[in-house]
Structure 1
Amino acid sequence: MSELRTIARHAGTVLVGQLAVMAYGIADTIVAGRYSQQALAALSVGSAVYITVFVAFIGVLQALLPAWAELHGASAGAALGRSVRQSLYLVGAGSAVGVVCLLFPGPLLTWTEVPEQLQGDVRAYLSMLTLALPAALAFRAFSTLNQSLGRPKLITWLQLMSLALKVPLSIWFAFGGLGVPAMGVQGCALASVLVFWVLVGMAIWLLRTQDLYTPYAIWKRIEPPHGPTLADFARLGIPSGLSVLVEVTSFTLMALFIARQGTTAAAAHQVTSNVAAVMFMMPLSLAIATSARVSYWLGAGDPKLARHAIRTGLKAGAVMMVTYSTLLFLARERIAHIYSTDPEVVAVAIGLLGWLALFHLGDATQGLIVFILRSYRVTLAPLVAYSVLLWGVGLGGGFLLAYRGIGPWPAMQSPAAFWIAATVSLALLALILPPILWRAVRRYRPA
């Protein structure tokens, strides 16, 4: 099978599952938008806080993909099984820290000046989601394992099945009925809790019953924390997790800063950020598939085929990002009307979606390259670049453009200011990362 076909099949399978998960957010956004503008604004702020916490720890777990793919390429089944068991300590630690962050969001909400009338709904939403976080992280570890083995199909089927459960539960719990009171945005969170724990239950059943996992003896008694293994996790996972944290906070803090502009601005931003997240699933799926193949070939001791996999993934990514950015720009009005019936929200969202079409080009490029860099254990350089550009140029520049003005440009007092600055920061990032990748590939020497 050609490298392109292998990567495409893996990426396509991952994409279907990722879109199913993203449909959770789409469903909640549409349900909240139909429930009330207040609920949609609260979802915008609450989901920004949750995603900041959740994705940071996901970044650590996802960074294990190249390490596990290398062990798979080297046919080191027993070592892979031990590594998977050690990753459970990461899941436990991440869950403990994350729950504390979600239960006490007050300082963050105050610092970003989220309106007082939204904070009650936001706190209720986050409190409910604390119950989902441990299950969500555990399932992410299971998902990373399957991706590293080049067998994502089981994950995709589980995610599709969970979507069929999530949508009706969100509608039911939000609007009430059959003896259940209307819970609004908190009902959407409760639906997520139930869905993630069902996913974990199914993952456990599969690990115990499927022959795919037999060579790795994953169900052996878990060893005490192993210092060298956890240190290796830390070297790869912490910079990667911090990079994801910078990326996500530069994005989600936009929602918190935009919230001070009122519910219309917050609701329009929620629509745009939701579409952005859905679109990013496409290059993310390609990045996961490409990284898995690159790491597999590096583990098998064939850097030439690893370079071929890189070229294949980058070419496919270029075609993908241009196609989807063009389609988004042409369909932005129709998309805005799908999400909201409020004419003011729709009008603002149409303008933001136009900027998103440009934003996606840089976002897709950097996402693909960063995943490939992890295969070569390069994580610190992207972290520095993310911190300077996404926080400094993107978030900082957006805040100045929105509320202070920059040079001849007066304060816009619009969420568009943040999307303009973020687009510029990602364009710069997409220019900086390719030379870093080129250098890493040229300097790589098999262990």
Structure 2
Amino acid sequence: MFFPLSFVDFKSYSLRLGILALPILITQFCQAALGVVDAIMAGQVSALDLAAVAVGSGIWLPLFLLATGILIATTPLIGEAIGQNQLDKVPHITQQSLWTAGVIGILGFIIVNLAPNVLALMGVPENIQPIATQYLHGVSFGFPAIAVYAVLRSYCEALGRPEPVTVISIIGLLADIPLNYIFIHGLFGMPEMGGAGCGVATAIVLWINVLLLAVYTSFTKRHQFASTRFFYAFASPNR
């Protein structure tokens, strides 16, 4: 049955939706911008490095979106539990999603490391393949963090708290710039890796993001029902 809304109701609902949606949009932008920042900074080294990072980003970013798309199902599951006032289910749903994230993160790590084997089949020039391979190898270590972060992000957003996720995403994007510079040019005792160093920097950023979000979800005083702290007394995966 259709219930027409008055203009005042429409304006109120639109404002509330916008307040929730804006941080989520900023988060999406920051995550997608990681690959863009890598390409820009690699391009300052050489055209070869730029091409290699662009090829690598074209492989790992779709896998990143696939993993996030699967695990974002946590949001409606938690929302349903809250809507039905079954608050005790929230930690269990989150724990089960984290188990799933572990599997997806490991699979992502393996797939990204195997991806360089198809570079020749994709017609990637031979002089680009070594740099792209090193870049993908570095990024691959961040895939477990991507998966866990997607669950914790969904957890926060389902509880109507997308702002911390947005702040952490901005911090991660800003941290990616100096970290790229360090690994590209070999500063502070790090090896000089050129454009391939962007992969290592991105992996570090992904782990920084997930650790910050894990700290927030563990120690925030909000939503006590949900933080019956799902990091404690971890349930075994459902069969």
With the shorter chain as reference, the TM-score category is 0.7 to 0.9
Higher mean C-alpha displacement, 181-190 vs 105-114:
105-114
Offset of 1:190 from its aligned partner? 1.3
Separation in 1 of the partners of 2:140 and 2:88?
Answer: 34
Q: Which residue of structure 2 aligns with residue 78 of structure 1?
A: 88
Offset of 1:107 from its aligned partner? 4.1
Q: Which residue of structure 2 aligns with residue 40 of structure 1?
A: 50
| Match among 197, 205, 208 for residue 195 of structure 1 | 205
Offset of 1:133 from its aligned partner? 0.8
Q: Which runs of 4+ in 1 moved over 6 A?
A: none
Letter in 2 for 1:31: M
Q: Please, what TM-score do these two structures have when normalized by structure 1?
A: 0.48
Matched-pair contact (CA < 8 Å) for 1:95–1:134: yes
SS at match of 1:166: helix
Q: Please, what TM-score do these two structures have when normalized by structure 2?
A: 0.87
| Match among 77, 87, 101 for residue 67 of structure 1 | 77
Separation in 2 of the partners of 1:25 and 1:109?
Answer: 18
Offset of 1:180 from its aligned partner? 3.4
| Match among 44, 52, 65 for residue 55 of structure 1 | 65
CA RMSD of aligned residues (A): 1.8
Provide structure 1 residue ranges, at least 5 long, that are not aligned to the other structure.
228-447
Percent identical among aligned pairs is 26
Offset of 1:172 from its aligned partner? 2.4
Mapped pair 1:3 → 2:13:
yes
SS at match of 1:43: helix
| Match among 98, 101, 110 for residue 100 of structure 1 | 110
Q: Which residue of structure 2 aligns with residue 222 of structure 1?
A: 234
Separation in 1 of the partners of 2:107 and 2:187?
Answer: 35
Q: Which has the higher helix share?
A: 1
Mapped pair 1:145 → 2:139:
no
If you compute each CA radius of gyration, which structure gives the higher value, 1 or 2?
1
Q: 1:400-442 deviations in whole A, cap 9, x for unaligned?
A: xxxxxxxxxxxxxxxxxxxxxxxxxxxxxxxxxxxxxxxxxxx
Q: 1:171-208 deviations in whole A, cap 9, x for unaligned?
A: 22213334434312221111112212222221221122
Separation in 2 of the partners of 1:219 and 1:104?
Answer: 32
Q: Which residue of structure 2 aligns with residue 26 of structure 1?
A: 36
Q: How does 1:412-427 map to 2 (within 5 A)?
A: none
Offset of 1:226 from its aligned partner? 1.6
Letter in 2 for 1:79: K
Q: How does 1:400-411 map to 2 (within 5 A)?
A: none
SS at match of 2:119: helix
Higher relative contact order (CA 8 A, sep 6+): 2
Separation in 2 of the partners of 1:87 and 1:13?
Answer: 22
Separation in 2 of the partners of 1:72 and 1:65?
Answer: 11
Letter in 2 for 1:83: I
SS at match of 1:4: helix
Offset of 1:45 from its aligned partner? 1.0
SS at match of 1:77: coil
